[in-house]
Amino acid sequence: MLSPAPGPVRSPGAAARRARSRRALIAGCVGNFIEWYEFGVYGYLATVIAAHFFTPEGGSAVEGLVKTYASFALAFFFRPVGAALFGRLGDRIGRRPTLVLVICLMTGATTLIGVLPTYATIGAAAPWLLTLLRAVQGLSAGGEFGGAVSVMTETAPPGRRGRYGAWQSFTVSLGLLAGAGTTAVLATVLTPSELNAWGWRVPFLLTLPLGLAALWLRVRLDETPAFVSAVSPTGGPPRRPPAGETVRAVALGAGRAMGWSAAGYTFLVVLPSYLQNTLNATFQQALVATVLANLGFAATILPAGAMSDRLGRRTVMLAGALLVAVLALPLLNLVQNPGVPVYAKGAALCAAGAAVGLMAGPGPAMLSEMFPTTVRYTGLGLAYALSNAVFSGCAGLIITRAVAWTGDADIPAYYAATACAVSVAALLTLRGDAHERTLR
C-alpha cells in the first residue's frame, strides 16, 4: 500500500512570527489612522474652526484663518517634544506600554475638541483651550510615529521592511481620506448653518470609538523581539550609542524626510483652504480636489514601499522628490487655469499626490534603518517630528501669509519644490544597499 506523499512542513514558529507581524502591523496602523484622520479634519474644517474660535465679532476672516493655522503649527512643534519624551520611554520600558499611553492621550484630546465651547460661549478662553488640546495632540502624535514604525519594521519578515513600513504612510492617506470623506458627507447632508452650528463637532467625536478599538488592539500587542534582545540581561536599561552620533542621524533623517513632509501637507491638507481663499473654490469643490490628491497619494505608497525592498530606498525616494521639485509649479498652474478641463485638473492633483507617495512609501523603513534598536523609537520619531514641525505644521501658516503678502498664487508650488530639492541632496547621502542590511 502506498503512503501519501508528505506535504510541505510548516513550522509552528514561522506561523507564530507571521501572526505576530500581522498583529503588530494592525496595532501600529490603527493609531496612526486616528492621528491623521484628526489632523486632516482640522485642516479641512480650518475655515469653520477659525470662525468659531479665532474670529471674534468684527474680526478679519483671513486673520482668523492665520491664527487657526498657527494653532495647527503649534501642535506640530510639540511633536518633537513628544517624540523625545515617549521615545525615551519606548526605548527604555518597551514599545507596547508606550503606544498604549500614546493612544489614550490622542483619543482623549481629540474627543474633547468635539465638545469644546466656542468663542461666542466663553470668550477668549476658547482659543486657549483649543490650543492646549492641540498641544496634547502634538505630544501624543510625536510619540506615535516612532513607536508604530519601530513595531512594524522590527517585526517585519526578512526583505519586507519597506512594505511593512509603508503601511504607516498608507494609513496616513486613509486617515486623511476618511477625514475628507467625513467632512464632505457632512457638508452634503447638512445645511451650511447646521455644519457651522454643530456639524463640525461630529468628526472629532467619532474619534472616541476608534480610539477604544485601537486601545484594545495595543493592549494585546506583544513586545518586539528586537527590543527584548536589546535589553540588558540584568534587566537594566540597554546601552546606547554616543549622543553625537544619534544627533547627526536625526538631523540627516529630518533632511531626507523634509520634502515628503512639506509636499505632503501642501497638496494633501492645506489645499482646501488655499483653493477657497485664493481661487474662490466652493467648500465642496475644495474637498473633492483634496480627495483626488489623496487618492493619488494612496495609490503609490504600498507599491513604492515594495519597490524599495528591491531597488533600494534611495532610488524610489529620489524619484518622488525630483518629480515634485520639477512638476510642482506646472501642476499648480494647470489647476489654477480656468480654461483647463476638470478631468485634467483632477489628473494633475492625482499626479501630485502620487509623487509624494513615492517618498512616503519607503520613508518609514528608511528612517528605521538609520538607528540602532536602543535609540530607534527616539531617533526616527525625532527625525520625522522635526521635519513635520518645521515643514508640515508651518505649511498652512506660511502659504496663507505669503500669498496674502505677495499676492502670488504660486507660493504653494515654490514651497513644495524647494523642500524637495533640499531632500534630494540629503537622499544622495543614503547608501544604495541600506535596505539589504539587518537592523542594528
d(CA 296, CA 106): 28
pLDDT at residue 3 in the model: 42
Q: Give 346-359 pLDDT, tens digit per residue.
A: 888 899 999 999 99
* Mean pLDDT, rounded, of the chain: 85
Mean pLDDT of 131-135: 87
What angle separates helix 125-154 from helix 12-44, to the nearest 10 degrees?
160
Are the beta carbons of 296 and 264 closer than 8 angstroms?
A: no
Q: What pLDDT score was predicted for residue 377?
A: 94
Q: Quick one: pLDDT at residue 215? A: 92
* Confidence at 67, pLDDT banded by 50, 70, 90: low
Give yes or no for residue 430 having a pLDDT over 90: yes
Q: What is the pLDDT of residues 147-186, one digit of tens each?
A: 999 999 998 888 899 999 999 999 988 887 888 888 888 8
The pLDDT of residue 60: 56
Percent of the chain with pLDDT over 70: 90
CB atoms within 10 A of CB 110: 29
Retrieve residue 173's grid coordinates.
492617506
Q: What is the pLDDT of residue 282?
A: 77
User: What average pLDDT does this structure show over 29-44?
Assistant: 82
Q: If we measure between CA atoms, which residue out of 224, 232, 175 comes closest to residue 203?
A: 175
Rounded CA-CA distance 364/253 in Å is 10
Query: Is 300:354 a contact under the CB 8 Å cutoff?
Result: yes
Q: Classify residue 235 as left (phi > 0), alpha (psi -120 to 50) or beta.
A: left
Higher pLDDT, 340 or 66: 340
> What are the residues whose beta carbons fall under 8 Å from the beta carbon of 52, sequence distance 6 or more?
118, 119, 120, 126, 196, 200
| Confidence band, pLDDT 50/70/90 cuts, at residue 97 | very high
Cβ–Cβ under 8 Å, residues 171 and 29: yes
Instruction: Provide the pLDDT for residue 74.
Output: 73
For 189-237, what is each residue's pLDDT tens digit?
Answer: 988 889 888 999 999 999 999 999 999 999 988 888 888 888 765 555 5
Of 371, 390, 437, nearest to 87 by C-alpha is 371
- In the prediction, which pLDDT does 117 show? 92
Q: For residues 248 and 244, what is the distance between their CA atoms, to the nearest angstrom?
A: 6
Matching residue, cell 508650488: 413
Q: What share of the chain is helix, strand, coil (3-state, %, to 5)?
A: 80, 0, 20
Q: What is the pTM of this model?
A: 0.84
Q: Give the distance, in angstroms, between the CA of residue 233 and the centroid of all CA atoms in the same chain.
A: 36
pLDDT score recorded for residue 73: 67
pLDDT of residue 180: 80
Question: Can you tell me the distance from the alpha carbon of 87 to that of 81, in angstroms, rounded to the nearest whole number?
Answer: 9
Residue 392 scores a pLDDT above 80:
no
pLDDT at residue 56 in the model: 64
Give, in degrees to the nearest 5, the angle at Cα 214 between 229 and 181: 130
Cα–Cα distance measured from residue 18 to residue 414, given in angstroms and rounded to the nearest whole number: 44
Per-residue model confidence (pLDDT) at position 343: 82
Structure confidence at residue 128 (pLDDT):
87
Residue 5 banded pLDDT, cuts 50, 70, 90? very low
Q: Which of 52-66, 131-145, 325-339 has the lowest mean pLDDT?
A: 52-66
Q: For the residues 294-322, what does the mean pLDDT come to?
A: 95
Q: How confident is the model at residue 318 (pLDDT cuts 50, 70, 90)?
A: very high
Which residue segments constitute the domains of the chain, with CATH numbers given?
A: 21-227+242-436 (1.20.1250.20)
In the numeric block, the cell 534603518 is attached to 369
Q: In the prediction, which pLDDT does 414 show?
A: 92
Distance between CA 204 and CA 29 in Å, rounded?
A: 19
Percentage above 90 pLDDT, the chain: 40
